[in-house]
Each structure stands twice: as structure tokens, then as C-alpha cells.
């Protein structure tokens, strides 16, 4: 197993504001990974019309990637005044994050006969070329019903490779969950229902405070952290030696 992770961010409660915060979390993870000398590659994304994401899946690769990001899995809650809010009222929204160790072909053997491939035109903003050809790929793993997509590259082959990478990681994670006698997959337990009451961390912009509810610690300078300065949070978890739940 290599040290790469695949991270999936999905908006939960909160509509457009939730999608905008999904984009903020992606920026935070991407910027921090680049500061640490890691690489960040978007595997699949579905942008919203207001500049957020309906979903984004990306891979972070490099030494220590798993240890750095393994504690990010769960529901993140944001409290702030949305850009679209005219009355200045604070809204509460949620975003769910799943963190999957990247599986290789050696980790997971997939029978090509178990796959159904579909090709379609990429959706969402992306310039004039994005919708001209059916370069986006959807793969259905028939035995498990797992569905993955990739539509960030202009080439069909590249998107197929990205989709297969996501699929292998999800299948491996499902196998591991069964080995731990869970009734649901790890990803589902990480995602939860994205309800406002299910949260691992709260980002309170009016009070300039981020609070992690698992280790009961808070940090200020929220804009700086969102911009990629996650070091205080990462160090706090390393000090606590918290083990993510299976």
C-alpha cells in the first residue's frame, strides 16, 4: 500500500453555501498539501453554478499523506454569513469528507467482466471544450453496485484511469469494513447523513474560531487556516495520537 489518499468532499445541509464551503475545504487541503511538498490531483469534480462544488474527489500523494489527512474524515460544520445572504444572518451548513487510502492494482483485483462503462459529456463550468466530446467516464462495479465517475481530464483514457483508481480504493475500503464486522462501509460511516448535529469540527467565522469536537481544542485565525495553514490542527492530532474510528 502506498501513502496516497483519495479524499471525497460532498455538500450536506445548506444548499449553495454548503457547496461553497466544500470548495473552501478543498482549497485548504490542496494548499496545505502543496506546502508539505505533496501533490494534489483532482480525479472528479462537479462544480456548482455559484463557484462551489456539488462533489469533488482528489488524490493527495507523497510521504506521510495518510497520517496527515486521516483525521479529516467526517462531517464539517460551518457557521457564517453566506455571500448570497442580504440580511446579514449567520447560516449553519455542513460538508462531509471521506478519506480513503489509495488502493493499487495489487491490492484489489477487479474482473473486467464485472464492470459496466458509460461515457458522457462533462457537466458544469469548464470552458468551451468541456462538453463537446464524451470524455467523462462512469464505471459501475456490478457485484457491489459501486458507481464512480471521472470527468476532469479532456481525454477519455485519463478519466478511465482516474475512475478505476477511485473504484479500487472504495472496494478495498468496503472489504476492510467487512473484515472489521461493520454493517456499513467505512465511507458511509464517515459521510454519515451530513446532518447539522453530526460533526467532527465546527468553523465559526463570526467568532473567528475552529473547534474540533473530538479532541476539544479550538484555534483562531480561521481565514489563514482555510487558506492552507493547517499545521496547528495537524500537530494537535499528532500530539493527541487519536486513532480514527473504523
- Nearest CA to 23 out of 215, 218, 226 is that of 226
Q: At which residue does the C-alpha cell 479500487 appear?
A: 168
Mapped onto helix, strand or coil, the DSSP state of residue 233 is helix
Pairwise CA distance, residues 38 & 164, whole Å: 22
H helix count then E strand count, the chain: 6, 11
Residues 6 or more apart whose Cβ sits within 8 Å of residue 79: 90, 91, 92, 202, 203, 204, 205, 206
Q: At which residue does the C-alpha cell 499545521 appear?
A: 231
Q: At which residue does the C-alpha cell 449553495 appear?
A: 16
pLDDT bin (cut points 50, 70, 90) of residue 102 is confident
pLDDT bin (cut points 50, 70, 90) of residue 128 is very low
Cell (9 digits) for 217: 481544542
Q: Which fold has domain 5-104+184-240?
A: Alpha-Beta Plaits (3.30.70)
CATH of 112-179, one of 3.40.190.10, 3.30.2350.10, 3.30.160.20, 2.30.40.10: 3.30.160.20
pLDDT at 152: 79
Residues of the chain within CATH 3.30.70.1660 domain(s) are: 5-104+184-240
Pairwise CA distance, residues 52 & 91, whole Å: 16
Residues of the chain within CATH 3.30.160.20 domain(s) are: 112-179
Pairwise CA distance, residues 9 & 56, whole Å: 5
Q: For residue range 157-197, list pLDDT tens digits in order.
A: 889 889 999 898 988 887 776 655 443 455 565 655 555 55
Residues 6 or more apart whose Cβ sits within 8 Å of residue 222: 203, 204, 205, 208, 209, 210
Cell (9 digits) for 39: 501533490
Q: Give the global pTM.
A: 0.79
Q: For residue range 204-241, list pLDDT tens digits in order.
A: 999 999 999 999 999 999 999 999 999 999 999 988 76
In the predicted model, what is the mean pLDDT of the chain?
Answer: 84
Higher pLDDT, 117 or 179: 117
Pairwise CA distance, residues 9 & 36, whole Å: 21
pLDDT at 179: 57
SS3 content of the chain, % helix, strand, coil (to 5): 30, 30, 40
pLDDT at 20: 94
Amino acid at each position: 500500500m502506498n501513502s496516497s489518499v483519495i479524499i471525497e468532499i460532498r455538500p450536506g445541509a445548506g444548499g449553495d453555501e454548503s457547496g461553497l464551503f466544500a470548495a473552501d475545504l478543498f482549497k485548504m487541503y490542496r494548499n496545505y498539501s502543496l506546502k508539505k511538498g505533496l501533490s494534489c490531483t483532482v480525479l472528479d469534480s462537479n462544480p456548482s453554478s455559484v463557484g462551489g462544488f456539488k462533489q469533488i474527489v482528489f488524490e493527495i500523494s507523497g510521504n506521510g499523506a495518510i497520517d496527515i489527512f486521516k483525521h479529516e474524515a467526517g462531517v464539517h460544520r460551518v457557521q457564517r454569513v453566506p455571500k448570497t445572504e442580504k440580511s446579514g444572518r449567520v447560516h449553519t451548513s455542513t460538508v462531509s469528507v471521506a478519506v480513503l487510502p489509495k488502493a493499487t492494482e495489487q491490492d484489489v483485483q477487479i474482473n473486467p467482466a464485472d464492470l459496466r462503462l458509460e461515457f458522457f459529456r462533462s457537466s458544469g463550468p469548464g470552458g468551451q471544450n468541456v462538453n463537446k466530446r464524451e470524455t467523462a467516464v462512469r464505471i459501475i462495479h456490478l457485484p457491489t453496485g459501486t458507481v464512480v465517475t471521472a470527468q476532469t481530464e479532456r481525454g477519455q483514457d485519463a478519466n478511465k484511469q482516474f475512475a478505476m483508481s477511485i473504484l479500487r480504493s472504495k472496494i478495498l475500503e468496503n472489504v476492510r469494513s467487512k473484515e472489521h464486522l461493520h454493517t456499513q462501509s467505512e465511507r458511509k460511516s464517515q459521510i454519515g447523513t451530513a446532518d447539522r448535529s453530526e460533526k467532527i469540527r465546527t468553523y465559526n467565522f463570526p467568532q473567528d474560531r475552529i473547534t474540533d469536537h473530538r479532541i476539544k481544542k479550538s484555534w483562531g485565525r480561521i481565514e489563514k487556516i482555510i487558506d492552507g495553514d493547517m499545521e496547528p490542527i495537524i500537530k494537535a492530532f499528532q500530539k493527541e495520537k487519536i486513532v480514527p474510528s473504523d
